[in-house]
Structure 1
Amino acid sequence: MSAYRGLDEDGSIAVEFAILVPAFVLLIAVAAVVGRQTVAQTAIEGAAHDAARAASISRTAATAQARGDEAARSVLEDHGLHCDPVTITVDTGQFARPVGQPAAVTATVSCSVAFSDIAVPGMPGNRTLSATFTSPLDVYRSRS
């Protein structure tokens, strides 16, 4: 005869449920934050790449600035990424180099991605992500 004969396990499932559900919800929230951050980083890298490429095929530094900014904003919009704030910097300083010398354009895109809609205690409300890409200028094409 067992010493535990009169004890039953009523309520044990409720205790397990109360312990495991919050942990599971936290795991899902953390996965959502990591997923959003990964998608945002990919979009920002694409924006920096397209900005540098659009700027590098321009003939003037002023046009390169405008086209780079436009290209980066377009990529971010296409990915549905709403940055607050977004900073796009297109370095066109090497446009002044004479034809025949190597030169490049560098684009940097920084974006503050919000996580406020995913309420996880201890997680930041937003995170600033950035990417930089450099694209060469054609060595033998005129530029100003």
Structure 2
Amino acid sequence: MNRTTRWGDRGSYTLESLLCLMVLLPILGLMAAWGLAGVFDSSVDNAAAAAARAASQAPDADTASQRGRAAAEAALTQDKRNCTARHISIDTSGFSRPVGEPASVTATVTCTIPLDQLAVPGLPGTKTLTASSTSALDQYADRTE
């Protein structure tokens, strides 16, 4: 009996499956990490929008800055985003414009996340996500700088 006929392709399916799995798992992990990075990016966008909205409703620049920072922190905390470094900047220069002139407040949120927080453990490095949002001030409300 011929040896190739006797054994045939026995066991090759297992080997092929194992090889495919070794190639596909890292690719699937990277795709999951990419998707989660998008989710984190969306959370940073939402935090910037919440900060700008809260700041634009304040009566003065100091209160606007405090409310904006608090809103951004609350949004990031609510979404359970663990930033290793975060920076929240509120531009309240619009409060110095005279009543009757259009003005706005801009919030910028920066969040640095370690890549190993994403789907692939041991992925080296960090990713810094930044988002800005602008919200108009009431054109005819009293403003104090």
Q: Give me the TM-score of the superposition, normalised by structure 2.
A: 0.88
Q: Which of 118, 121, 133 matches 1:119?
A: 121
Partners of 1:35 and 1:142 lie apart in 2 by 44
Gaps of 5+ in 1: none
Aligned twin of 1:65? 65
Partner-residue secondary structure (3-state), 1:127: strand
| More helix per residue | 2
| Deviation of 1:6 (Å) | 5.2
The answer for the alignment partner of 2:21 in structure 1 is 21
How far apart, CA to CA, are the structure 2 residues paired with 1:70 and 1:101? Answer: 27
1:39 aligned onto 2:39:
yes
Q: Identity rate of aligned residues, in percent?
A: 36
* CA offsets 1:84-113 (integer angstroms, 9 cap, x no match): 101110000111111111110000111112
Q: Distance in 2 between matches of 1:141 and 1:28?
A: 53
Runs of 4+ in 1 over 2 A off after TM superposition: 4-7
Greater mean deviation of Cα atoms: 61-70 or 34-43: 34-43
1:11 maps to which residue? 11
Deviation of residue 12 (structure 1)? 1.2
Residue correspondences, number:
140
2:131 equivalent in structure 1 = 131
Q: 1:28: how far off?
A: 2.1
**What is the root-mean-square deviation of aligned Cα atoms in Å?**
1.8
- Structure 2 portions without partners, runs of 5+: none
**Partner residue in 2 for 1:102:** 102
Amino acid at match of 2:65: Q
Partner of 1:74: 74
Q: What CA distance in whole angstroms lies between the structure 2 residues aligned with 1:65 and 1:20?
A: 54
TM-score, with structure 1 as normaliser: 0.89
**Distance apart, 1:124 and its partner CA:** 4.7
Whole-Å separation in 1 of the counterparts to 2:12 and 2:33 = 32
